Structure 1
Amino acid sequence: MEPGISCCHFLHCKGGSFNLCPDTKFFATPPVHGSLANQVVHPADLCFKLPDNMSLEEVAMCEPLSVGVHACHRANVNAEANVLILGAGPIGLVTMLTARA
């Protein structure tokens, strides 16, 4: 599931760049409840079918990994770069692994 629900009215939203919507509502950001549940009601166009060959554990790491890869790409991290990772949660850990790679 895409955790951000855009307004679907702005030009960015209609063009598929819903991540640029200033009115995006995210799970677990008040007043919206989180998504730690067996079932969640969510717009169908923001849900994606999982590949049969991926475990739930692998799929769960896709979003944190994408954040780490994007951060390292934006910061032009290379083999000689020194980086500071603040936080040892999933995003911090995969960002560290991405920087090392």
Structure 2
Amino acid sequence: MEKAELAAKMQENEAWVEGKKVKIDYADKGVIMLDGVNKAVTEEDGDADTTIKVTWEDWQAMADGQLDGMTAFMTGKLKVEGDMSNAMQLQGVLAKLRG
């Protein structure tokens, strides 16, 4: 799946944290902004309540259920800046994408 495809699927499934902005930073692949304030998913960079830094490969593994989010965090494959509670709610976001 390409990033634009993922952003579209996230928009379709309303995969955001209500009232919060969560940025997923894929380093060289750019970002996806889950904007729960404006109820939109974009590929535009900007300020966020929480920023999650993860490689595209590790994100795909998490989305496929091959890599647990907590394991990724504990092993340093996933880094969180800002409000940690928003990151915890992303498990639900991933579940929406699988469902």
Give the structure-1-normalised TM-score: 0.25
Larger Cα-atom Rg: 1
Question: Which has the larger strand fraction?
Answer: 2
Give the structure-2-normalised TM-score: 0.25
Greater RCO, CA 8 A, separation 6+: 2
